[in-house]
Amino acid sequence: MRRLATPEDIDTVFALYMHEKVVPYLGYDPMPLEDFRAIYRQLLDGRDFFVYERDGRIAGFYRAARYPGRVRHVASLGTLAVDPALRFYEKLGFEREGTLRKFYKRAGDAEAIDDHVMALLVD
């Protein structure tokens, strides 16, 4: 089941976000919970940050936001870590729209890596 994240979810979201196998793929380096609170507040304020529950426990999270106006048919999916990420999206029918070269550094890496913009057209 998916639902909007709430302030009460912060401890579980923080634990997942900072997990050693997840944090290298997300936008922030490891940090203490107190520093994460401001980031979490921004995620909640957007009203587009969801948690996925399985058997009553949070098993993951993601952001899903629609663009406004004439591009309201377009949504952005982010704050989701999957390994290997491109195969996951391709299996769902996503196609590579482009590459953001040397876009970000993963936690612990010396060099910046590419990020890929993936898209799926749905009717």
**Burial environment of residue 83 by CB neighbours within 10 A (0 to 12, 13 to 18, 19 or more):** exposed
The better pLDDT of the pair 119, 44 is held by 44
1-81: CATH architecture: 3-Layer(aba) Sandwich (3.40)
Residue 118 has pLDDT above 90, yes or no: no
Mean pLDDT score, 39-52: 94
0.85 surpassed by pTM: no
- Pinpoint the residues of the chain covered by CATH 3.40.630.30: 1-81
Residue range 17-31, pLDDT digits in tens: 998 878 877 888 899
DSSP 49: E
Residue 49 has pLDDT above 70, yes or no: yes
Mean pLDDT score, 76-100: 76
Residue 89 has pLDDT above 80, yes or no: no
